[in-house]
Structure 1
Amino acid sequence: MARTKEFDPDAVLQQAMELFWEKGYEATSMADLVERLGIARASVYATFGGKRELYLKAYDRYVENGIDIIGLLSQPGPALPAVRALVERYAEEAAQDTRHRGCLVVNTAVELAPHDRTLARRVEANWDMIETALASALTRARAQDELGADKDPRALARFLLTMMQGLRVIGKSSDDPVRLRDAAAQALSVLS
């Protein structure tokens, strides 16, 4: 007869995500996981697989719980205010990141994607989704005469995506919120 789990796998996954987000993959040992999660090493393996499998699940959890970018950018009405709000939100979240955790997607891109094809594909999928949502909103903005006809929505989307991810990197290591807010304001000026 199978034993009933004495822990909530969903809560444990959330705690694992937080730990990986704080320390990174390589700096998080199995001992760190066991201590933080409050479950035995065997339970980690039996429930989630190894450390890598747990990281993949934690990464997916982070992405699923992130900003509803598609919902934000696809609302009816003017599109440009939604794009501006998204960029400003990225800047504010980075400016308020007092724990200097950054973004788990960006952290994964820097730490693991160069040598882990599975995670590289997941990072690319996330960035493709953001870029596509931005390009769609900017195309709509151009069609609604909010954005000049000479502006290339796809190129602007790529620029904003790159800048927004850069905000996350700077926010991870800087205590200067003005730097982040000024950068976002300058990036948004290209939409005028």
Structure 2
Amino acid sequence: MARPREFDEGDVLDAAVECFWKQGFEATSMRDLIERTGITGASLYNAFGDKRALYQRALDHYVAGSIAERIRRSRELPPREAIESFFADILKRSLGDRQRKGCMLVNAAVDVAPHDPAFQKIVAAVLKHLETFFLDCVRAGQADGTITLASPAADLARHLLAVLLGVRVLARVRPEPALLKGAVATALAFLDGSGRGHDARAGQALSGRGAR
């Protein structure tokens, strides 16, 4: 009869996320993970496998608790407001990230996925999910008149995804409010059919929601 686990799996994955997120996959050793999670090496291997397997579990845990949850909250709002709320939260997290950890998914896309076909598929699937979220919002906004019809919905969704990834990368090396807010405000301005500068509506949305 198998003995019950003497640890909480969620707590271990939370600790693993923090370790991988801060140090990256390559720089994180199993000893680091054992120290951070507080369980024995045997327990860690038996429950989660090797470092790569644990990294995948940690990444899945991060996506479920961060990205998927943010999308879920945003989908409860009207389409244009959903996009603004999503980016307001991204700005808040990016500008408040004193350790400059960035986004674990984006870090995986840069550090791990290029060398690992399996992780390429994992990261690509999440990015596709984000693109679909933006596409659904844009299409709904175009239908209710809150988002311009001047550009195809697919193009606007791809642009929003590109801005999201750019902001998350920039935040690691240049977490400057004017830089990050300017990039997002211009992207939101495109939703009104204007790509020239930061329209008042986009600026007000960012300043009003960024404090949440």
TM-score > 0.5 by shorter chain? yes
Alignment partner of 1:43 is 2:48: no
- Give 1:69 shift: 4.5
Q: Is the 8 A contact 2:17 2:59 kept in 1?
A: yes
* SS class of match (2:5): coil
RMSD: 1.6
Q: Which residue of 2 aligns with 1:71?
A: 72
Query: 5+ unaligned residues in a row in structure 2: which ranges?
Result: 193-212
* SS class of match (2:12): helix
Q: Is the 8 A contact 1:96 1:177 kept in 2?
A: no
Query: 5+ unaligned residues in a row in structure 1: which ranges?
Result: none
State TM-score, norm by structure 2: 0.84
Alignment partner of 1:12 is 2:12: yes
Letter of the 2:72 partner, please give it: G
- Give 1:109 shift: 0.2
State TM-score, norm by structure 1: 0.92
Q: Is the 8 A contact 2:21 2:101 kept in 1?
A: yes
Q: Which residue of 2 aligns with 1:170?
A: 170
* SS class of match (2:66): coil
Q: Which residue of 1 aligns with 2:197?
A: none
Letter of the 1:48 partner, please give it: F
Letter of the 1:113 partner, please give it: A
Letter of the 1:117 partner, please give it: P
Q: Is the 8 A contact 2:71 2:86 kept in 1?
A: no
Q: Encode CA deviations 1:73-126: one digit per residue, 9 max, x unaligned.
A: 4336x4212112212221221111111110010000000111111211111111
Q: Is the 8 A contact 2:171 2:180 kept in 1?
A: yes
Q: Which residue of 2 aligns with 1:188?
A: 188
* SS class of match (1:59): helix
Q: Is the 8 A contact 1:102 1:172 kept in 2?
A: yes
Do the aligned partners of residues 164 and 47 (structure 1) sit closer, same or farther apart at CA in structure 2, a change above 3 Å counting? same
Length, aligned pairs only: 191
Q: Encode CA deviations 1:136-181: one digit per residue, 9 max, x unaligned.
A: 1101111111122222111111111111111111112224222111
Letter of the 2:120 partner, please give it: A
Q: Which residue of 2 aligns with 1:143?
A: 143
Q: Is the 8 A contact 1:73 1:134 kept in 2?
A: no
**Separation in structure 2 between the aligned mates of residue 184 and residue 118 of structure 1, nearest angstrom:** 31
**Separation in structure 2 between the aligned mates of residue 9 and residue 141 of structure 1, nearest angstrom:** 40
Aligned residues with identical type, % of pairs = 38
Alignment partner of 1:121 is 2:84: no
Q: Is the 8 A contact 2:94 2:171 kept in 1?
A: yes
